Chain A
Amino acid sequence: GNSVTQMEGPVTLSEEAFLTINCTYTATGYPSLFWYVQYPGEGLQLLLKATKADDKGSNKGFEATYRKETTSFHLEKGSVQVSDSAVYFCALSGTGANSKLTFGKGITLSVRP
């Protein structure tokens, strides 16, 4: 079945540091890949997505590239801000009419001023 593996957390960084959060997946066919963010007290929000190999999703300074050869979708940001402190989830969905999402465990990011 489908699965998503995220690096262990939590992660604590200073403001303006570079961020990488690793995500690898196992799936049949060609899934779509997502990063969701959950700010304290709020629901999950879609941060970015990629639907095919070599696609790069980007939003709010975050980027992730769909790497089929390494089955990875690592999240990066060049300069984090305190407001980026949140829980980040990597996820995939099946192809066709199957819209079920499979999530990774999530990782908590804390950014210090």
Chain B
Amino acid sequence: GAVVSQHPSWVICKSGTSVKIECRSLDFQATTMFWYRQFPKQSLMLMATSNEGSKATYEQGVEKDKFLINHASLTLSTLTVTSAHPEDSSFYICSGLDRANLNEQFFGPGTRLTVL
């Protein structure tokens, strides 16, 4: 199957700082990417849908000014957590939608964010 990478795999930052997470589709073009958040022992919650060249669509309850998403190319989407606080600590997972592969979503390995 297709491969999606995320960088970094884990990050620790201080409260008030911003953190950028990259999501790359390595061997396919992802016009649509999704960002999820996963709390321990809980489900993946969709945060936003990112379409290349346009603004992201955020799910209800997700602050778009806090979680900035940019999808500037067909292989890269970034999620920036601005002014991070401890409650933002979580596991963030992205996926790319491969339209050439029956719209299957391919997932990255996730990024563990810890805010001190």
Contacts and interface: CB of A to CB of B under 8 A. Distances in A.
Are A and B genuine complex partners? Answer: yes
A105 B38 CA distance: 9
Contact of B104 (A41, A43, A46, A105): A46
B107 A105 contact: no
Interface of A: 4, 36, 41-46, 89, 99-106
Given A99-B32, A99-B97, A100-B49, A43 B44 contact: no
The interface centre, meaning the residue of B6, B43, B93, B106 with most chain A CB atoms within 10 A of its CB, is B43
A103 B44 contact: yes
Contacts of A104: 43
A45 B43 contact: no
B108 to A, nearest CB: 5
Given A43-B93, A43-B109, A105-B43, 10 more contacts: A42-B109, A43-B4, A43-B6, A45-B107, A89-B44, A99-B32, A99-B97, A99-B105, A101-B34, A105-B41
Which are the 10 A-B pairs with shortest beta-carbon distances?
Answer: A43-B107, A44-B107, A43-B109, A103-B43, A103-B44, A105-B43, A43-B108, A99-B103, A42-B109, A105-B42
Main SS of the interface on chain B? Answer: strand
A46 B104 CA distance: 8
Contact of A41 (B46, B49, B109): B109
A100 B50 CA distance: 12
B105 to A, nearest CB: 6
Interface in B45-94: 46, 49, 93
A46 B106 CA distance: 8
